[in-house]
Chains A and B, each alone.
Chain A
Amino acid sequence: MQVTGSVKGRSSRLIRSVSSLAGAAMFVAPLIALVAIWAIVVPLFNVNPRVFPSVGAVGTAALDSIRDGTLFAHVAASLLRVGLGTLIGIATAVPLGIAMGVSPTVAAFLTPLFRFFSVLAGIAWIPIATLWFGYGFGAIVFVIFNAVFFVVAYNTLLGVRTIPHSLRNAAASLGAGRWTLLTEVLVPGALPNIVTGIRTGLGFAWRGLIAAEMIATNVGLGYMLFVARDFYRTEVIVFGMIVIGVLWLLIDRLLLVPLERATIERWGMVRRA
């Protein structure tokens, strides 16, 4: 029993690592193809660098911005804003979502407000946010917070509502009180939806961040794109776009996916994608 179990475990781990390698190759192949087409088409048609840069120019722009430290400054500024806005958003949205999930009165009262504000969530707040917080850090963090807050709160509410009633009954008949019901059942039970909410919210936040940085600051990836435009530096713009995309993939793969693996996938609450 022990032996077959461990052999089975080892072989399935091997299969998993081979298939994840194949998965990575499948993921990278279209990107490589895209870069190859780019490397061929731009010199072939002698594209004006003011319209679209060559691969080499983007590479040079990348090296320059790494060497002079501007890339690091922009990335650090952007990540700090996203991180802080997201954390504040989650910290306020989860308790509110749970309160709505537990109390029909709270839910009924807040639902119309949620409908209204979720349409406005994100960049529609930039003008007034800059009036409240001035141009810069505060306004952008507020926009991020706003993008994350509504989607996480709504998903938390859904999560609490979809917990099977038998689990609450089981906890109550085993002696759980109101507070332990919250910590032992409602929060972990709502976690699959909370994670979905965080994922969607972070996606919104990331887009909102770039938009807000184009308007309301003087450092950050959005600002980097916007300023480069003024000088027809298409290679800097394209490099910035690549950085934005790659950073998002890294956040997703290194932060969100491992979090899901360790929790809700392990518990069998969602199927592995």
Chain B
Amino acid sequence: MKTLSLRNLGKTYFDPYAGAHVTAVHDVSLDVEPGEFISVVGPSGCGKTTILNMIAGFIPYSKGDILLDGKPVHGPGPERGVVFQSFALFPWKTVLDNVGFGPKMRGVPKAERDRIAREYLALAGLSHAAHRYPNELSGGMQQRVGVVRALANNPDVLLMDEPFASVDAQTRMTLQEELTRIWQERKPTVIFITHDVPEAVFLANRVVVLSKGRVLDQIAVDLPRPRVWDELVKDDQFKQLSARVLQMVRAA
């Protein structure tokens, strides 16, 4: 496990429609400790997805540094796993082969990567779906596959870009509870992007509030785990924290 550091990170790009340079991220500094679960919230256009795409290496950054264990990162790499809002499963691969894709890229032999994939599918309660194709699964199941596909590659950091935004409300709560459970079992380092404040508070150890490309504030969340919605909706501390973050986001 390695520490991820953002140092004065900035992104400016040329917008051909506006005919001008636009700064999506002004100056963001952030340290993420190994095994931490961080939620990043903020209104649309605050730069949260841009930051995630820069950490993932999908887009280059204009200034500052992204350091993983002190070394700068450029371009995508398997030490930074990504869970996509659109799931981004390979339609032509079975669930088993989707989850085994990362190990396959590392050259792990077929039998061993199937074993790894089955282990992670069991973790997400998906053992029965191993030989199905993604299009045969519900949205919630597809995103479970998306999560364990990233985890099965054993990344130093797991980057999640509004992963539950496109599933229905009930499924979303189940997925959130499952994610906290999996996080407790495996303790991956997670950066979770969302615009849903209760979701951010429910999942994280720390909530980072962004505004106009800058870090507005950071709030520690020391709610006990395991976290379950039935209990947390009645919990005063959860309500207060959510209200506080929501206020900040709305004022941002």
Q: Which residues of A contact B (CB under 8 A)?
A: 164, 166-167, 169-177, 180, 184-185, 188-189, 191, 263, 266-269
Interface string of B17-46 (1 = CB under 8 A from A): 000000000000000000000000000000
Once A191-B92, A268-B91 are accepted as A-B contacts, the answer to whether A172 and B134 lie under 8 Å apart by CB is no
Contact call A170/B135, Cβ cutoff below 8 A: no
Once A166-B84, A167-B90, A180-B105 are accepted as A-B contacts, the answer to whether A174 and B133 lie under 8 Å apart by CB is no
Nearest chain A CB to B241 CB, angstrom units: 31
A interface: dominant SS: helix
A170→B88 CA distance, assembly (Å): 7
Contact call B88/A176, Cβ cutoff below 8 A: no
A83→B81 CA distance, assembly (Å): 45
Closest 7 CB pairs of A and B: A268-B135, A175-B78, A175-B105, A172-B76, A166-B88, A170-B88, A188-B92
**Complex contacts, A189 vs chain B, CB 8 Å:** 92
A184→B77 CA distance, assembly (Å): 17
Once A164-B86, A267-B91 are accepted as A-B contacts, the answer to whether A173 and B133 lie under 8 Å apart by CB is no
A170→B149 CA distance, assembly (Å): 10
Contact call A266/B58, Cβ cutoff below 8 A: no
**Complex contacts, A180 vs chain B, CB 8 Å:** 105
A164→B135 CA distance, assembly (Å): 15
Contact call A173/B91, Cβ cutoff below 8 A: no
Contact call B90/A173, Cβ cutoff below 8 A: no
A84→B218 CA distance, assembly (Å): 67
**Complex contacts, A174 vs chain B, CB 8 Å:** 78, 81, 101-102, 105, 149-150, 153
A188→B133 CA distance, assembly (Å): 14
Nearest chain B CB to A267 CB, angstrom units: 4
Interface string of B84-123 (1 = CB under 8 A from A): 1010111110000000011001100000000000000000
A268→B94 CA distance, assembly (Å): 12
Nearest chain A CB to B25 CB, angstrom units: 19
The reply to whether the CB of B130 lies closer than 8 angstroms to some CB of chain A is no
The reply to whether the CB of B193 lies closer than 8 angstroms to some CB of chain A is no
Contact call B101/A263, Cβ cutoff below 8 A: no
Interface string of B44-63 (1 = CB under 8 A from A): 00000000000011100000
A267→B95 CA distance, assembly (Å): 11
**Complex contacts, A167 vs chain B, CB 8 Å:** 88, 90
A177→B57 CA distance, assembly (Å): 14
A94→B146 CA distance, assembly (Å): 30
Q: Choose one: A173, A188, A267, A268; the contact of B81 (CB below 8 Å).
A: A173
Once A173-B77, A268-B135 are accepted as A-B contacts, the answer to whether A164 and B88 lie under 8 Å apart by CB is yes
Contact call B133/A268, Cβ cutoff below 8 A: yes
Once A169-B76, A172-B76, A173-B76 are accepted as A-B contacts, the answer to whether A268 and B136 lie under 8 Å apart by CB is yes
Once A188-B90, A269-B91 are accepted as A-B contacts, the answer to whether A175 and B106 lie under 8 Å apart by CB is yes
A72→B90 CA distance, assembly (Å): 45
20 contacts between A and B (CB under 8 A): A169-B56, A170-B89, A172-B57, A172-B58, A173-B56, A173-B58, A173-B77, A173-B78, A173-B81, A174-B105, A175-B153, A176-B105, A184-B90, A185-B90, A267-B91, A267-B134, A268-B134, A268-B136, A269-B91, A269-B92
The reply to whether the CB of B80 lies closer than 8 angstroms to some CB of chain A is yes
Contact call B81/A266, Cβ cutoff below 8 A: no
Nearest chain A CB to B227 CB, angstrom units: 28
Nearest chain A CB to B162 CB, angstrom units: 12
Nearest chain B CB to A91 CB, angstrom units: 21
Contact call A169/B58, Cβ cutoff below 8 A: yes
Interface string of B162-197 (1 = CB under 8 A from A): 000000000000000000000000000000000000
Once A175-B102, A175-B106, A184-B90 are accepted as A-B contacts, the answer to whether A169 and B84 lie under 8 Å apart by CB is yes
